Chain A
Amino acid sequence: MKRGRGRFIARKVLGSLLTLAFVLVFNFFLFRIVQKDPIGSLFRGRNVPAATLDNLRSAFALDQPLGTQFIYYLRETAQLNFGISYQSRQPVWNEIISAVPATVTLVGISAILSAVIGTLGGIIAAWRRNTWKDHTITSGTMVFYSMPDFWLGMILLVGFAVVLGWFPVGGIVDAGSNATGLSRLLDQLHHLFLPASTLTLAYLGEYTLVTRSSLLEVMGEDYLTVARAKGLRDVIVRNRHAVPNALLPVVTLTAINFGFVLSGAIAVEAVFSWPGLGKATADAIRGPDLPMLQGLFLLFSAAVIVFNLIADLTYSWLDPRVEEA
Chain B
Amino acid sequence: MNSIAMQRRRATAARVWRQFRDSRQGMIGLGVLGVFVLIALAAPLLADIRELNPVFARSSGNPQWGSPEVFAPLGTDHIRRSVWAQFVWGSRVSLFVGLAATILTILIGSVVGIVSGFVGGKIDGFLMRITEWFLVIPFLPLAIVLASILGRSVWNIIFVIGITSWPSTARLLRAQVLTVKQRLFVDRARSLGAGGPHIVAHHILPNVSGLILANATLAVPISILTETTLSFLGLGDPSSASWGKTLEEAFVNGAMVRNAWWYFLPAGLGILAVVLAFTLIGRTLEDIANPRLRRGR
Using CB atoms and an 8 Å cutoff, list the residues of chain A in contact with chain B: 15, 18-19, 22-23, 26, 30-31, 33-34, 129-130, 142-143, 145-148, 150-151, 154-155, 157-158, 162-163, 169, 212-213, 216, 220, 259-260, 263, 266-267, 270-271, 281-282, 285-286, 288, 290, 293-294, 296-297, 300-301, 303-305, 308
Contacts and interface: CB of A to CB of B under 8 A. Distances in A.
B214 interface: no
Interface stretch (B114-122, B194-202, B253-261): B253-261
B33 to A, nearest CB: 13
B149 A33 contact: yes
A288 B142 CA distance: 15
B149 A34 contact: yes
B232 interface: yes
B161 to A, nearest CB: 15
21 contacts: A18-B129, A22-B133, A129-B297, A143-B276, A146-B272, A146-B276, A150-B232, A154-B247, A154-B251, A154-B268, A158-B259, A162-B257, A169-B256, A266-B140, A267-B232, A267-B233, A281-B141, A297-B145, A300-B138, A303-B138, A304-B137
Contact of B235 (A143, A216, A271, A285): A285
Listed from nearest, the 6 A-B pairs whose CB atoms lie closest are A151-B268, A146-B275, A146-B276, A300-B141, A147-B272, A288-B148
A73 to B, nearest CB: 16
Interface in B210-269: 221, 225, 228-229, 232-235, 244, 247, 250-251, 256-257, 259, 261, 264-265, 268
A324 B275 CA distance: 39
Query: Residue among B133, B229, B279 with the most chain A CB within 10 A?
Result: B133
Nearest to A27: B145
A154 B256 contact: yes
Contact of B221 (A146, A169, A263, A281): A146
A174 to B, nearest CB: 17
**Count class of interface residues, chain B:** 35 or more
A263 B148 contact: no
Contacts of A263: 138, 140-141
A157 B247 CA distance: 14
Contact of A148 (B148, B225, B296): B225
B132 interface: yes
A118 B268 CA distance: 23
B286 to A, nearest CB: 11
B144 interface: yes
Contact of A293 (B136, B137, B144, B271): B144
A81 B55 CA distance: 48
B141 A301 contact: yes
Contacts of A296: 141
